[in-house]
Amino acid sequence: MASERDVRARLRLAGQEHLLRFWDELAPGPRAALLAQLAELDPVALREHCQRAAAACARPPGPCPELAARLRPLPPERVGSMSHGDPEARQRWEEEGLRQIALNKVAVLLLAGGQGTRLGVDYPKGMYRVGLPSQKTLYQLQAERIRRVQQLAGERHGVCCTVPWYVMTSEFTLGPTATFFREHDFFQLDPSNVVLFEQRMLPAVSFEGQAILERKDKVALAPDGNGGLYRALADHQVLEDMQHRGVDFVHVYCVDNILVRLADPVFLGFCVLQGADCGAKVVEKTDPQEPVGVVCQVDGVPQVVEYSEISPETASLRASDGSLLYNAGNICNHFFTRGFLQTVAKEFEPLLQPHVAVKKVPHVDEQGALVKPLKPNGIKMEKFVFDVFPFASNLVAFQVQREEEFSPLKNADGAASDSPSSARRALLAQHYRWAVRAGARFLDAQGTPLPAQPCLPPNEDPPAICEISPLVSYAGEGLDVYLRGRTLRSPLILDETRARELLLAQDP
């Protein structure tokens, strides 16, 4: 183990000696823990990290004035669409996606290392229940969608196939996620096909460029952003594991989108048939001020430009059909070939520039008292998963309908959007639409008929509550056999048992 002297010398080199300022007060156990933590930090890298964080934070935020002239939308031949494309093309994409899944060439990769500070719970977001009638968590919904898509591809091609689930966690989420998966028997997935790995952590830094002490014996660390994925893939030989399993295509997604379609065959098939090495699902941005990044080109190079970097005038520009010119809203839902990930992990990762996130970082003050700041006091440096887009040889975008595929859980209830209520409503509205289109009608608890509205206004509660298990339907398919001509009482949970009962029951 490194000695106090060694560590002090390294910290001096890094300009961070203050991290030992409570040394004299510490008992042997905490001293050893602090030394172990500090010994892991490379002094040169630590110095650069702290300097870079303070310098980046000092730059004035806001739109980049010369960007407008360099910005272009992606060329139309690189953009597919779920709703605007012709139905035959859509079917071809789906067939191709299912074929690749049946060949065991597809994996899903969940980014689950975030701290979920805005939601404000002290456990991983994937364990959150948004209050569905079934009480399912986000992790469970995702696991069941994997099982269902395996089944759909397997049935189509008469095989038994596997979509391995890679889960990137962090120091905060690894332990509780692993325990949760074990306690829930991996949601009936084969545990050998669920691979948890951990991303790295970086010190949080004050505005003056000093690493922050969370306690007298602990440096405040934060995960290195969802773009920490690429280092984590290399750290844990994840790509070798994929190669070993024969995986060629990876669907990467965020934990918090309750509507996420894991290993979506249509998206996969589109990307594969386009020969893409990198793909981004996008939703149409209709409000110029909506705070989402936009997939577009800068100087001809594809990338995601953050909404804060685009001036309001540029964000409001319209195309000839009246839609926003820069309307490809990024939803952190990506396709990568394994080959591309391998090149990124080997060559490009060091070139990715970290972004500054200004956050509230709990810390100890000069006297050693714990402080929970009320306003942001620290900088976390994060890489983003989409930072690799400029390195792609053939990036494509695929536009999907927001109400079918995107409702993220970011904030606690009470917030105007992206809350547990809005996520729950989005899922239940979708399932209600699927059920009504499949021919179901609903009654309330007193037996009064409820309106049948196959199209619902956005952000409105559906007239009836109907939750459909992903094990019964992945994207609305196959519901007619259970629901055509049925009148059912709300609330309905259409799980596998109820579906079987409906099949067996006499026609009403």
- Asked whether the beta carbons of 245 and 195 are under 8 A apart, the reply is no
Closest C-alpha among 198, 253, 208, 254 to residue 231? 198
Pair of tokens at residue 429: 């509205």
Pair of tokens at residue 238: 């994840």
| 118 makes contact with ligand UTP (CB under 6 A) | yes
> Which 333-352 positions form the footprint of ligand UTP (CB under 6 A)?
none
**In terms of CB distance, is 211 or 499 closer to ligand UTP?**
211
| 94 makes contact with ligand UTP (CB under 6 A) | no
What single string gives the DSSP state of each residue in 140-180? HHHHHHHHHHHHHHHHHHTS-----EEEEE-TTTHHHHHHH
Q: Is the peptide bond before 491 cis (omega within 30 degrees of 0)?
A: yes
- Helix ranges (DSSP H) in 264-345: 265-273, 312-315, 338-343
> Minimal distance in Å, beta carbon 382 to ligand UTP?
6
| 255 makes contact with ligand UTP (CB under 6 A) | yes
Determine which residue in the list 112, 196, 465, 488 makes contact with ligand UTP, applying CB under 6 A: 112
> Minimal distance in Å, beta carbon 114 to ligand UTP?
2
| 329 makes contact with ligand UTP (CB under 6 A) | no
Window of 21-29, 33-41, 111-119, 240-248 that interacts with ligand UTP by CB under 6 A = 111-119
Query: Which residues are paired to 328 by β-bridges?
Result: 284
> Minimal distance in Å, beta carbon 375 to ligand UTP?
16
Q: How far apart are CA 471 and CA 141, in angstroms?
A: 9
> Which 195-214 positions form the footprint of ligand UTP (CB under 6 A)?
199
Give the number of other Cβ atoms within 10 Å of residue 411's Cβ: 16
Window of 184-192, 219-227, 274-282, 483-491 that interacts with ligand UTP by CB under 6 A = 219-227
**In terms of CB distance, is 102 or 280 closer to ligand UTP?**
280
Determine which residue in the list 114, 302, 329, 463 makes contact with ligand UTP, applying CB under 6 A: 114
| 354 makes contact with ligand UTP (CB under 6 A) | no
> Which 120-179 positions form the footprint of ligand UTP (CB under 6 A)?
125, 168, 170
Q: What is the separation of C-alpha 456 from the centre of its chain, rounded to a whole number of angstroms?
A: 26
> Minimal distance in Å, beta carbon 187 to ligand UTP?
18
- Asked whether the beta carbons of 16 and 210 are under 8 A apart, the reply is yes
Q: How far apart are CA 482 and CA 440, in angstroms?
A: 9
The residue type at 402: R
| 405 makes contact with ligand UTP (CB under 6 A) | no
Closest C-alpha among 437, 413, 438, 417 to residue 426? 417
- Asked whether the beta carbons of 296 and 74 are under 8 A apart, the reply is yes
Q: How far apart are CA 304 and CA 210, in angstroms?
A: 30
Window of 242-250, 252-260, 275-283, 412-420 that interacts with ligand UTP by CB under 6 A = 252-260
> Which 261-280 positions form the footprint of ligand UTP (CB under 6 A)?
none
Look at phi and psi of residue 48 and say left if phi exceeds 0, alpha if psi is from -120 to 50, else beta.
Answer: alpha
Q: How many residues bind ligand UTP (CB under 6 A)?
A: 22
| 288 makes contact with ligand UTP (CB under 6 A) | no
Look at the alpha carbons of 100, 79, 64, 360 in this order and tell me if their dihedral is positive or negative.
Answer: negative
| 113 makes contact with ligand UTP (CB under 6 A) | yes
- Which residue sits closest to ligand UTP, CB atoms considered? 114
> Minimal distance in Å, beta carbon 208 to ligand UTP?
23
Closest C-alpha among 74, 456, 30 to residue 214? 30
- Asked whether the beta carbons of 61 and 310 are under 8 A apart, the reply is no
> Minimal distance in Å, beta carbon 3 to ligand UTP?
32
- Asked whether the beta carbons of 263 and 189 are under 8 A apart, the reply is no
> Minimal distance in Å, beta carbon 410 to ligand UTP?
6
> Minimal distance in Å, beta carbon 445 to ligand UTP?
37
> Minimal distance in Å, beta carbon 82 to ligand UTP?
22
Residues that bind ligand UTP (CB under 6 A): 111-118, 125, 168, 170, 199, 223-226, 228, 254-256, 382, 410
